[in-house]
Structure 1
């Protein structure tokens, strides 16, 4: 009996240790791969389509996944620091911070209507005095928010490069709010994301208010576009196994090639496809953001 008890004492830690090791294996039921989606559209739309993505990933890889929708991109960045995030579809500025602080790697770039890059647009009332970018000197200009690449940082770089200084700036916090403020004459001009028209249909930020303001295209005009920068990336925690990263990347590309995947990516990310990318593809963005927001703010 004593020998039996002694054996249980000696073997107990081994058994428990074995269970602990199994639990620590990334991609298992006990420790699923944590995939974060930055909220950019309606929460229900994200939730419904993230389940479609989860089912596809689990069916076509040997891994289990947990897809989470945090409150904002800052929460995603912080999650990489505590290993509560393994993969994320994140905005460009969030990637910049996560890469700078935790070495997070870009492995895929979102494609929108055949383009891997995007631009900001400067908008103004068609019947107003703002006709060119230089006309913004000393004027009141609306931006989205200080952390928005297309709605503030990229337009800010454009203005700085031209040595144009608005007299007053307003943060409307949403792209559609910027468009509305311009339409209503609350500001002289504003900056939002730009997407080229598709099949004659408006795709830039003005389309967000077209139901409310059917004449938005006639009343609010684009006065200039910024330089292009890479679209938002899908990123991975640096110390994830390389084989695991490659398998997930390949499966996401396969997902993007299916009709169901195309629909889900469009609804979740506004994406029509994905392409492989590397951190070096974002060097120009890092250079821009380190100049405009050197403290990561």
Structure 2
């Protein structure tokens, strides 16, 4: 009996460590930092380009929240994805993930978060937000949640007690809530105010709002693949993503979807500093996600 059990365990360990065979169809996931509809329009174009470039059938899907990407990758319903930097750390801890490429904006492989207020607001510093209402993005958003909350703590503001926090589904929604006066301030990536769906309704948004605070540089949002995905397919995806970022037409889709100017090769080491920030500001963020994993 013991010998049979040992044999079964050995077989399972070999199967688990074996490289996944190539898939004919791959699913590419996207996080909903903007409206799902707006993202999906550009996502479909990106999927078509990568399908032609790689020779695989690639379809795109925009998940309802950041955590949904991790769950979909764990169940292998999503093979690679455009995610936020914290989202990558969570997925890596839960599933095992490999960064392929990372976004470049304004010549930097990284980006800033902003806290914005209305131009006519009397709020002049983060300390002035005590007792005010502040809109944040997804809890796993570095620019829309983690970094702004870290800055508030440094300013002597407890985000859980000293302000009225509101979590919204997208950073475009955060911008519009500030413009319309529904909240006193909002945390966004630089510069979610220029998202097409915002400009469509509020073309003068930049004159009606101002930047109260800018975060330090945040590691770039990466494009990642499941670590179990076939290595040859991961390499092909990396090559095709980089090729896409050099194509004039394809670059417009990257710009439309997340304000991305281009893509560079990414490595796991580039995100270790962010892991330390997460553990310092909210150490439960990664560990809680691990506990929730099915």
| TM-score band, normalised by shorter chain | 0.7 to 0.9
Q: 1:188 aligns with which of 184, 188, 200?
A: 184
The SS at the match of 2:114 is strand
Partner of 2:227: 238
Determine whether 1:270 maps to 2:266.
no
Partner of 1:68: 61
Pair member with larger Rg: 1
The SS at the match of 1:282 is helix
1:135-193 CA deviation, whole Å, 9 max, x = no partner?
22343323234333222221001112332233322234333443344344443333222
Q: 2:108 aligns with which of 115, 128, 134?
A: 115
Q: Distance in 2 between matches of 1:190 and 1:45?
A: 21
| Length-normalised TM-score, structure 1 | 0.76
Partner of 1:282: 271
> Cα offset for 1:82?
2.0
> Cα offset for 1:281?
0.9
Q: 2:127 aligns with which of 118, 134, 141?
A: 134
Are the equivalent residues in 2 in contact too, given 1:105–1:237 (CA < 8 A)? yes
Counting only pairs closer than 5 Å after superposition, residues 125-204 of structure 1 correspond to structure 2 as: 125-165=118-158, 166-195=162-191, 204=193
Give the direction of change, closer, same or farther, for the CA distance of 1:193–1:70 in structure 2 (3 Å limit): closer
Give the direction of change, closer, same or farther, for the CA distance of 1:174–1:205 in structure 2 (3 Å limit): farther
Query: Which consecutive residues of structure 2, in runs of 5 or more, have no partner in the other structure?
Result: 1-19, 290-294
Partner of 1:13: none
Moved over 6 A (4+): none
| Length-normalised TM-score, structure 2 | 0.77
Q: Distance in 2 between matches of 1:98 and 1:285?
A: 14
The SS at the match of 1:121 is strand
Query: Which consecutive residues of structure 1, in runs of 5 or more, have no partner in the other structure?
Result: 1-23, 196-202
Q: Give the superposed CA RMSD.
A: 2.8
Q: Distance in 1 between matches of 2:54 and 2:169?
A: 39
The SS at the match of 2:112 is strand
Are the equivalent residues in 2 in contact too, given 1:109–1:276 (CA < 8 A)? yes
Determine whether 1:35 maps to 2:28.
yes
Are the equivalent residues in 2 in contact too, given 1:123–1:223 (CA < 8 A)? yes
Q: Distance in 2 between matches of 1:207 and 1:66?
A: 24
Give the direction of change, closer, same or farther, for the CA distance of 1:221–1:249 in structure 2 (3 Å limit): same
> Cα offset for 1:254?
0.8
Partner of 1:84: 77
> Cα offset for 1:275?
0.5
> Cα offset for 1:206?
8.3
Give the direction of change, closer, same or farther, for the CA distance of 1:268–1:222 in structure 2 (3 Å limit): closer
Number of corresponding residues: 264
Are the equivalent residues in 2 in contact too, given 1:108–1:275 (CA < 8 A)? yes
1:3-29 CA deviation, whole Å, 9 max, x = no partner?
xxxxxxxxxxxxxxxxxxxxx84233x
Give the direction of change, closer, same or farther, for the CA distance of 1:281–1:151 in structure 2 (3 Å limit): same
Q: Distance in 1 between matches of 2:183 and 2:60?
A: 40
1:219-260 CA deviation, whole Å, 9 max, x = no partner?
322122111102211001112333332222012111111122
